[in-house]
Structure 1
């Protein structure tokens, strides 16, 4: 996971979600919705 960059594609990612932020609303030219940030722990504990 340490080599992942923002907006980079990947086929599969597995781990344990350890925290999730409050959701926040957004709106842009393609529509609107809600998003949240999450912290994922991989098998190395990071």
Structure 2
């Protein structure tokens, strides 16, 4: 394994599908997740 393989880069908006983003937004709107929880859990 190369050293660069173990480094986790920060994800960007482009790394997520539209459907995934809409699902997370829906959960936040319903109160199932807070914005901060979504950031921590999904690395957004």
More helix by share: 2
Larger relative contact order (Cα-Cα within 8 Å, sequence gap ≥ 6): 2
Give the structure-2-normalised TM-score. Answer: 0.23
Give the structure-1-normalised TM-score. Answer: 0.22
More strand by share: 1
